Structure 1
Amino acid sequence: MPLNAGESGYGSAPGAGLSGGVGTSETTPLLIPEHEPVCEWHPMTREELEASAGGPGWRKLRLYLVVLFWLTWAAMLAVSIAIILISPRPVGKCLKWWQKSLFYELQPDLSMEAQADGSHSINAVCESLPYLRSLGVGVLILEGVFRKKTSPSNLTVAAENMETLAQIQHLLIESNKADLRVVLDFCRVDPLVLQDVAGSLEKLSNRSAAVQHALRFWLKQGVAGFLICDSDAAYSEETLLEWRHVLEEFSTQEERIVVVKQTEDVLLPLNNPSQSNVTLVNVVMRSILPHSDHRLSTQEVSDAIETQLQRQDEDTWSSWTVGGQASHKLKRLLLVLLMTLPGSPAIQYNEEIGQTQAEPLKKGAPHQGMDEPSTTYRDKKMMRSSVLALFSTLSNSKASEEALLYGSFTFLPFNTSSNFSSSNNATVSFPSSPPILAFLRSWGCVHFLVLLNIGAKPHSLDPAWAPSLPEAGVFVASSGMNHLGSTSLYALTLQPHEAMVIKLFKAGSYS
């Protein structure tokens, strides 16, 4: 069959002006004619870019926005700094050395028998000074050095022929090496010459000069201060004014102090009214427990502690000591109380603390304060280790935490109808038992809660007791040193004769 190439066929293309043929659907030329131009891309010029972006005003607007951003940021920073500066905040006090120190009452034996035995001799005390300093002790109160009928002024005259002077001087030198200060105890020691105190004015004047000479003598030896009792003849405005003049002569580099041990219920104030900036007494040492010949009962201890906690703060710096007798179970609780009260703690000599780590406990020897004489050597060693851990923890916390140094004190009365959980999870109420005593030491946002269970039964905290307190906290110390880590106040159960120190913080954060 012949093919008509002119009309239509496979691969044919319609001619110009023709339509309806087979190839009429292919209207687009397959090849671009050579005379049509090709599109080329090229960057915009500056003029074209400014015109496209809105003209030259856009640059100024962008500059203004950048400047406004940085000015706003700087203003916010300045306002934040101003708020921080003008906001009320606690200002740290400039504490003196006797306000930051831990006092340790020590009574060395100066007899010849003690020097031969070596147990409580001056040499044994000197060897333990670096160890006491490592525990945080800052001041030694040297008790029992002078006999009750011996005058310190007489000692200055006769000390050249006495071995006592050499021993005390040796102790003062070693204390200076260990960075420990020494306060001499003149309490109930007659500072006058051994003769009748009733005499003429000339004799009184000579006695006053002799006492001042004695003070200068011991201050030259490096003594940091003197301790007297409120029942001594030296505790009077006239006498202490003379003492202050002598102490000021030696206070150019470091202040020398006068400590008064309170033995009466009310202490006579002796601040000089004519000179308001002169304090005749630097430290008042108060006893938490009343002095008694018998061991105080639990209720008597609770009443005495609660009375001291409710006392109003006074201008004179306080130092606290145990004073009266208490059971061995309450000694650790009292130690926690001493180290957390406002003021300087004064710890009485304790074999568990005073012995160095290199000095082992004698097997079978009676232990001071032990209720059970059959306690084994291992139990004694574990008990002494626990006491040392408690003492060191409290001492370090007292020295490093501002809230425990000069923070405010708030007594928290506890609900006496507290409940405790028994071993079978039954809740029993003991309204007649001694309550939990509690107080708060606060500085800024830092709060330390101290809980004291003086009774013989366990107690747990009532959630309605102090709703304003943060619920969460972390253990700092406990009398048994058997609590660690974080805790919730409402999950606490205080065991009999147990004390706790808890640092409070808001939930989810540590303060």
Structure 2
Amino acid sequence: MSEAQWWQKGIFYQVYPRSFQDTDGDGVGDLDGIRQRLPYLADLGVDAVWISPIYPSPMADFGYDVADYCGVHPIFGDLSAFDRLVAEAHGLGLKVVLDFVPNHSSAQHPWFLESRSSRSNPKRDWYIWHDPAPDGGPPNNWISNFGGPAWSLDPASGQYYYHAFLREQPDLNWRNPQVRAAMHEVLRFWLKRGVDGFRVDVIWHLMKDPQFRDDPLNPAYRPGEPEVARLLQTRSTDQPDVHEIIAGLRAVLEEYGDRVLIGEIYLPVERLVTYYGENLGGAHLPFNFQLLHASWGAPALARLIEEYEGALPAGGWPNWVLGNHDRPRIASRIGSERARLAAMLLLSLRGTPTMYYGDEIGMENVPIPTDQAQDPWEKNEPGLGVGRDPERTPMQWDGTANAGFTTGRPWLPLARDHATRNVAAQSADPHSLLTLYRRLIALRRTRPTLQLGSYLAVGTAGDVLIFIREWQGERILVALNLGSDPRGDIALPAGETRGRILISTELDRQEPVQGGFWLRPHEGVIVALGEG
């Protein structure tokens, strides 16, 4: 076990800083707020805190439009506040992972202001500029991921610049060695401050087709879907030479020893796994988002787990993500009963789990009135349900007026149930979802098999998903009843006659089993095989 890296054994917890804890009453979370809540995270049992962007930014996309890669936005604090956060996190045994946004900057970044100033400016080629098409329109058919053309005309120079997202987020030109060198220095700036790794935003976007050929039409597109779904982004993303770029980022991290590189990648499994890189020299953890889109039935889950396990390159370490700042919350996607099963699945599968703040108390999407919508994607394509505000609402700490998040007016509305669904209430409830997460995480720590063991598919028994984790002779069985009917006939695997239930999602069973066991509707259990 000592040979495993910390990011293989550990659990990551994503903090959306605007929504975690406000300490100055402006209704927006800050770095001192995260620092204040570090003991909670340590007590929960997670190992690393991934913090979404905190850089200076006009906030057109809430920090994913970076105006200074080596600073902190005043709304969150300053570099001294960041240093205090890192020091206290490390003192509690927690790692700190920063969001790194290298695909695009803000249009207000000094680099882009120079690039835009004239065609002859030395930084012109730091961004992606192109002459108009013969008809004067955009150079090709690429669509912004937030709707509308991905090209904006600069009247002063007569050229278009490319932006995969908002026009306020021009894409950097990673084919330019100077851009690569500058971004490598950004990584070093934060690594010298003690950062333990980076989650790289839209890493599969970094390189584009050098010939700027059109993306093909998507034959499966249906009206009512986001506009970007009209095309298959095979030219504007996921180019073969992106792996050279990622290897360069990885090499910088390796200058500093025990660090982790995580890639945000929304691609099919067979493409996702290529981001481990040649000889595993790419991202340590190309994010696996299958559970964000999964159909929560036993056969479907069994197939996707086996497909992923089978696609991993030799030595590639798996990972699983249950929620994030861009996708509806798990409790809203599958219901509160099955959210308990999802917790057990996440924390018992082979690989590194990533949690999203608030999922451990079952926070759900919060309906946001149209006049309070903040998300630019929702504003660009209203009525399609693409808004990401509902999953970004403030953390629910206690039953006070603003859920213990702020003394001011929260930047997004709180859930109506925050008075009863919160950390304080669930900490006092021995059967709460929060208690389940704490117990599962503690079990994972005390049973190395759940951290490092191999994965063996047992299959499904109707609506029950069953698999085994095995390590150094210990065998642990996980059985999840995803159906609404009880099951009294779950047999132990061939060759096994006894076991002990270590934990149930209902937190009321720790008992020996002989030959088999029963499950209630929507109940999961973890069984130590061979123990009595």
Residue 195 of structure 2 is matched in structure 1 by: 223
1:263-304 C-alpha deviation (Å, 9 max, x unpaired)? 11231514554xx4x52211122124244xxxx8xx645454
Aligned residues: 381
CA, structure 1 residues 261+446, in 2 after alignment: closer, same or farther (shift >3 Å)? same
8 Å Cα contact 2:64/2:101 also seen in 1:
no
Residue 494 of structure 2 is matched in structure 1 by: 468
Measured after TM superposition, the shift of residue 138 of structure 1 is: 0.8
Measured after TM superposition, the shift of residue 142 of structure 1 is: 0.6
Residue 441 of structure 2 is matched in structure 1 by: 395
Q: Which of 511, 514, 523 is residue 498 of structure 1 equivalent to?
A: 523
Residue 14 of structure 1 is matched in structure 2 by: none
- Residue 269 in 1 paired to residue 297 in 2? no
3-state SS, counterpart of residue 409 of structure 1: strand
Q: Quick check: which one's helix share is greater?
A: 1
Q: Which of 407, 413, 423 is residue 453 of structure 2 equivalent to?
A: 407
Residue 141 of structure 2 is matched in structure 1 by: none
Q: After the TM superposition, which residues 483-494 of structure 1 pair with which residues of structure 2 at under 5 Å, given as runs?
A: 483-490=509-516, 492-494=517-519
Measured after TM superposition, the shift of residue 482 of structure 1 is: 1.2
Measured after TM superposition, the shift of residue 408 of structure 1 is: 1.9
Residue 182 of structure 2 is matched in structure 1 by: 210
CA, structure 1 residues 160+481, in 2 after alignment: closer, same or farther (shift >3 Å)? closer
* Equivalent-residue separation in structure 2 for 1:122 and 1:213 (angstroms): 23
Measured after TM superposition, the shift of residue 438 of structure 1 is: 0.5
* Equivalent-residue separation in structure 2 for 1:166 and 1:411 (angstroms): 49
Measured after TM superposition, the shift of residue 123 of structure 1 is: 2.4
Measured after TM superposition, the shift of residue 388 of structure 1 is: 3.2
- Residue 310 in 1 paired to residue 224 in 2? no
Q: Which of 223, 236, 248 is residue 242 of structure 1 equivalent to?
A: 248
Q: After the TM superposition, which residues 46-445 of structure 1 pair with which residues of structure 2 at under 5 Å, given as runs?
A: 94-109=3-18, 115-116=24-25, 120-146=29-55, 148=61, 154-156=68-70, 163-186=77-100, 190=104, 193-194=111-112, 195=115, 197-198=127-128, 204-228=176-200, 229-233=202-206, 236-251=242-257, 255-266=258-269, 267=272, 269-270=274-275, 273=278, 276=279, 279-291=281-293, 300-302=296-298, 304-311=300-307, 312-313=309-310, 314=312, 315-323=315-323, 325-350=333-358, 360-362=398-400, 386-416=432-462, 435-445=463-473
Measured after TM superposition, the shift of residue 448 of structure 1 is: 0.8
3-state SS, counterpart of residue 500 of structure 2: strand
CA, structure 1 residues 372+163, in 2 after alignment: closer, same or farther (shift >3 Å)? closer
8 Å Cα contact 2:83/2:193 also seen in 1:
yes
* Equivalent-residue separation in structure 1 for 2:21 and 2:404 (angstroms): 24
* Equivalent-residue separation in structure 1 for 2:36 and 2:421 (angstroms): 27
User: Max radius of gyration: which structure?
Assistant: 1
Measured after TM superposition, the shift of residue 223 of structure 1 is: 0.8
Identity of aligned residues (%): 24
* Equivalent-residue separation in structure 2 for 1:136 and 1:383 (angstroms): 18
Measured after TM superposition, the shift of residue 222 of structure 1 is: 0.9
* Equivalent-residue separation in structure 1 for 2:360 and 2:273 (angstroms): 36
Measured after TM superposition, the shift of residue 461 of structure 1 is: 2.2
8 Å Cα contact 1:414/1:436 also seen in 2:
yes
Measured after TM superposition, the shift of residue 179 of structure 1 is: 1.9
CA, structure 1 residues 354+111, in 2 after alignment: closer, same or farther (shift >3 Å)? closer
1:182-215 C-alpha deviation (Å, 9 max, x unpaired)? 1112368625843572269999233222211211
* Equivalent-residue separation in structure 2 for 1:346 and 1:225 (angstroms): 14
Kindly provide the amino acid, as one letter, of the partner of residue 448 in structure 1: I
Measured after TM superposition, the shift of residue 154 of structure 1 is: 2.5
* Equivalent-residue separation in structure 2 for 1:119 and 1:184 (angstroms): 19
Measured after TM superposition, the shift of residue 399 of structure 1 is: 1.9
3-state SS, counterpart of residue 509 of structure 2: coil
8 Å Cα contact 2:30/2:77 also seen in 1:
no
Measured after TM superposition, the shift of residue 413 of structure 1 is: 1.8
Measured after TM superposition, the shift of residue 363 of structure 1 is: 8.1
8 Å Cα contact 2:302/2:460 also seen in 1:
no
* Equivalent-residue separation in structure 2 for 1:300 and 1:354 (angstroms): 17
Under a length normalisation based on structure 1, what TM-score does the superposition of the two structures give?
0.64
Specify every segment of 5 or more residues in structure 1 that has no aligned partner in the other structure, as ranges: 1-91, 417-434
* Equivalent-residue separation in structure 2 for 1:158 and 1:480 (angstroms): 43
* Equivalent-residue separation in structure 1 for 2:490 and 2:19 (angstroms): 54
3-state SS, counterpart of residue 286 of structure 1: coil
* Equivalent-residue separation in structure 2 for 1:101 and 1:110 (angstroms): 24
Kindly provide the amino acid, as one letter, of the partner of residue 521 in structure 2: P
Measured after TM superposition, the shift of residue 395 of structure 1 is: 1.4
Q: After the TM superposition, which residues 2-81 of structure 1 pair with which residues of structure 2 at under 5 Å, given as runs?
A: none
* Equivalent-residue separation in structure 2 for 1:250 and 1:459 (angstroms): 52
3-state SS, counterpart of residue 289 of structure 1: helix
Structure showing greater relative contact order (alpha-carbon pairs closer than 8 Å, 6 or more residues apart): 2
Measured after TM superposition, the shift of residue 391 of structure 1 is: 1.8
1:151-192 C-alpha deviation (Å, 9 max, x unpaired)? 668232787999454443332232122221111123686258
